[in-house]
Structure 1
Amino acid sequence: MNQLQLQQLECLLVLAEELHFGHTAARLGCSQSRVSQLVSGLESRVGARLVERTSRRVALTRFGAQFVDEVRPAYAALDMVFTNARQRAGRGTLCELRIGFHGSVYEEITLAFRRLRAEHDVAVMLSEIPLGSPFQALLDGRVDAVVVELPVHEAALSIGFRFPPQDQLLAVSAAHPLAARGEADIEQLANLDLLHRSGDAPEYWMNARVPRATPAGAPIRSSTGITTIQEGLALVAGGEHAMLLCRPLAQRTLREDVRYLSVDGLAPSQLALVWRTEHAGEQLASLAELLHDEFAADPPERLPACAAVS
């Protein structure tokens, strides 16, 4: 992500708070035309209108509000990482962990990151990894650990912390016959075309995301792969496909054209902090302990377990 893209995101986040181009320009120390230019540039990159502009008011579009909700936690975490990294670099005491993740890193997880910086003088650098490639960046040494969904059967990898399990939900089009029922049975998955992740993940991991068959043995169709969460939701909204995803993600990606259904008989999903066994060290062990402290103290409704499509 280059400097211009970061400026575009910062501009949109400030505009989402101010809902006024003049006030946003004042906070950013630039002109109103520059604010408009940055927002327009971001809309071009995203491929959708994020802000409704009239002579009387400024408002986020429905898509823009959802985009802001998804971007804000990751941007805030990244901003804090850079701020603390600069401070520690100035003191010559910078330690750093590179953490890979799928989709989003929610606020609850960043609490442990902040404590790691404050209590152990270790900065966390976040790196989004492809939905269908949970382990390659870790095995290649491009990151020190990843927060990904279980299972993990790779001989070179170890699980440092298991997040609390979370229900998986079924995303279908609002026009789908199942949408009116509000729930589904696991055997009904055989009547759907479930989206899967495109990538180099091991077959056992892919099968855990989208099972090959129902418990009764009926085959489950999965003809199409996706590379992003938003791509998946757009395909679901079109009515030809369905998608499995965890409850916390569903709660953060509400759309009027998509319904999320509980699935009777479907096993929950679970995230884990995973690292290379031979490179486990004090910093990663400290992070695992902090995550244990944070989640042991949290009530169930605050526990995040999925950072991406299941």
Structure 2
Amino acid sequence: MPDLPARELECLLVLAEELHFGRTAQRLRVSQSRVSQLVAALERKIGTQLVERTSRRVALTESGAEFVDRVRPAYTRLIELVDGARQEAGRAAPIRIGFQGLAYETITWTLARFTQENPGVALSLRELPLGDPFGALLAGDIDAAVALLPVREPGLSVGFAFPPAPRMLAVSHGHPLARTERIDAEALADVDLVSVDGPAPWYWRDVHFPRFTPLGKQIAGTARVATLQEGMTLAATGRYAMLTCRPVAERNQRADLRYVRVTGFDEESRMALIWRSARRPAQLTKLAALLGALPDITEPTWQRT
């Protein structure tokens, strides 16, 4: 297939409108001699004269006028197709990411860097229900979730796991446990622990909203919440306590809450970037790599016990 003389065609079409080499050169931002070269090159490829030029006027030949009439609609349509494709590329489907609970600095800094390095990729962000960490991801409503581990759902994989974080118990300043620096997990049998509403799988719920202590003592859970802030507010009333993690505690300091370190669990709290194993946008791999390259800022600046 011969090369399409796009530049020569553009030159001829502009010249057909202006009938003036100088104005044509200005519109194309080239010299007049370059206009003459482009027209001559097109005439050689077609094999006929298209333009008549005298000292007084510029005109299309009969063949040139007929050629322009036939080419202009096709050329205009080609430009429209190219522009449309460019606009569609600019409106490419965004990478949809859900966040459970709190997106702290490690995540927000990474997203800022990702958008700088990938200007053609848009990000769509949404908050996930506290009690449904994987539902939107399994339904295909989002491409990835930043959610608490563990995850054992078929078809989901961990792309990046954040460092583990110590468990913390949020209680009011008047709560009996507020006077201690740390407690053993067995002490949770003596509190009314906030539970969560939603279809979270049982194995996940037992880690973050346990019904029993590690030694099997039952933990009361008479209140259920849909969001982190609801749980914090209930804890602040003094009747309830909420189990959380150190990064969340550090970034949710309130005058009516105290955070106590909880030890004795088999595993610490841990967030992860989770995606679908089979259908994962390539940009998510870049995002996971950026998360791994950032320094760990999950270590607290207060209550290091």
Shared fold (TM-score, shorter chain, > 0.5): yes
Q: Hey, what does 1:236 align to over in structure 2?
A: 235
Confirm whether residue 282 of structure 1 aligns to residue 282 of structure 2: yes
Rounded Cα–Cα distance in structure 2 between residues aligned with 1:228 and 1:300: 22
1:268 shift after superposition: 1.3
Structure number with larger C-alpha Rg: 2
For 1:210-249, what per-residue CA distance to the aligned partner results, in whole angstroms no more than 9, with x for missing partners?
Answer: 2222222211121211012221112111111111111111
Larger relative helix fraction: 1
Maintained 8 Å contact 2:100/2:148 = no
Are 2:250 and 2:300, in contact at CA under 8 Å, matched by a contact in 1? Answer: no
C-alpha deviation, 1:250, in angstroms:
0.9
Instruction: Give the equivalent residue in structure 1 for 2:272.
Output: 272
CA contact (8 A) 1:158 1:276 kept: yes
Deviations 1:156-193 (A, max 9, x none): 11111101111110111211111112321111001111
Gap change, CA 1:145 and 1:234, over 3 Å in 2: same
Q: What amino acid sits opposite 1:113 in the alignment?
A: L
1:298 and 1:239 map into 2 onto residues whose CA distance is: 33
Alignment check: 8 A CA contact 1:226 1:232 kept = yes
1:6 aligned partner? none
Query: Which stretch has the larger CA shift, 117-126 or 227-236?
Result: 117-126
Whichever residue aligns with residue 104 of structure 1, its letter is L
Conserved? CA contact 1:163–1:270, under 8 Å: yes
Q: Which residue of 1 aligns with 2:173?
A: 174
CA contact (8 A) 2:106 2:297 kept: no
CA distance in 2, matches of 1:106, 1:136: 22
Counterparts in 2 of 1:185 and 1:283: CA distance versus 1, 3 Å: same
- TM-score scaled by length of structure 1: 0.65
Question: What corresponds to 1:151 in structure 2?
Answer: 150
CA contact (8 A) 1:116 1:123 kept: no
Distance 1:302 1:119 in 2: 29
Aligned to 1:161: 160
- Residue among 87, 91, 101 paired with 1:103: 101
Offset of residue 300 of structure 1: 5.5
Q: What displacement does 1:108 show?
A: 2.1
Structure 1 residue aligned with 2:211: 212
The aligned residue for residue 256 of structure 2 is 257
Residue 103 of structure 1: CA displacement?
2.5
Distance 1:150 1:180 in 2: 30
- Residue in 1 that maps onto 2:299: 301
Closer/same/farther in 2, CA of residues 283 and 276 from structure 1, 3 Å limit: same
CA RMSD of superposed structures (Å): 2.1
Is the contact between residue 106 and residue 291 of structure 2 (CA under 8 Å) also seen in structure 1? no
C-alpha distance in 1, partners of 2:101/2:117? 27
TM-score (norm 2): 0.66
Aligned length: 214
CA 97–253 in structure 1, closer or farther in 2 if over 3 Å, else same: same
Match of 1:4? none
Q: Secondary structure at the match of 1:275?
A: strand
Task: Give the structure 1 partner of residue 110 of structure 2.
Answer: 112
Distance 1:215 1:119, change over 3 A: same
Question: Runs of 5+ in structure 1 lacking a partner?
Answer: 1-87, 304-310
| Inter-partner Cα distance in structure 2 for 1:230 and 1:119 | 33
Gaps of 5+ in 2: 1-85
